[in-house]
Amino acid sequence: MDTSRQIARSLLEVGAVKLQPSDPFTWASGLRSPIYCDNRVLLSFPAIRDQVVEALVAAAGAVETIQGIAGVATAGIPHGALLADRLDLPFIYIRSSAKEHGRRNQIEGRLEPGLRYLVVEDLISTGGSSLKAIDALRAAGGEAAGALAIFTYQFPSAERAFHNAEVPLHTLSDYATLVEEATALRRITDSEAATLADWRTDPRAWSEAYEHPER
């Protein structure tokens, strides 16, 4: 079994990903979603945590000239720190905005201008938080060697955003693989798999149709 399928199965096994097509979650944006992903759950399972770190190390090997690791706060921090430790590289993390007290840092740790950092996130949805972190990294004089995440929803808009920012995006697993594995493991029916596919095609339209089925 390839890495993408192994990671997808692990996400399902420990409940880091939950699928509820008939009882959707509500995201912070207000959108309804049949899937919820929280990769912080992985940290509580040593064997799977190690599996993920080993997969991150392997994926990082495909990125050209990594000189440091930058975790995206907050969920990307632990995974990024574990990866930096394995690779014996400097580690920093990047907040969504500067603190309002103390040194008012947005980037914690010592960023070395000119170094190429691999930006680590736990999850890619729109890509907004990662790309905002990359903007801060570049503004401080660092370079983005690429972005690496455990899982992606594979939204076309996110893929376009990384392409436009000239940042190679690498992920351990993805939405299509997870739905396939969930179906194979009989976690969902074929009908529910179809519902999940419809959602990824247009999450906003799917959410509105769920909220207002009479339209």
Tell me the CATH number at 17.
3.40.50.2020
DSSP string, 110-157: ---TT-EEEEEEEEESSSHHHHHHHHHHHHTT-EEEEEEEEEE---HH
pLDDT of residue 112: 94
To which residue do tokens 């996110």 refer? 158
**The whole model's pTM is what?**
0.93
Number of domains making up the chain: 1
| 37: containing domain | 3-211
pLDDT of residue 215: 58
Residue 5's H or E segment, with its range, is helix 3-13
pLDDT of residue 102: 52
Q: What is the full per-residue pLDDT of the chain (215 aa) written as tens digits?
A: 799 999 999 999 999 999 999 999 998 888 899 999 999 999 999 999 999 999 999 999 999 999 999 999 999 999 999 999 999 999 999 998 765 555 668 999 999 999 999 999 999 999 999 999 999 999 999 999 999 999 999 999 999 999 999 999 999 999 999 999 999 999 999 999 999 999 998 999 999 998 877 65
pLDDT of residue 132: 96
pLDDT of residue 14: 97
For residue 213, CA distances in Å to 22, 185, 191, 208 come to: 13, 30, 18, 8
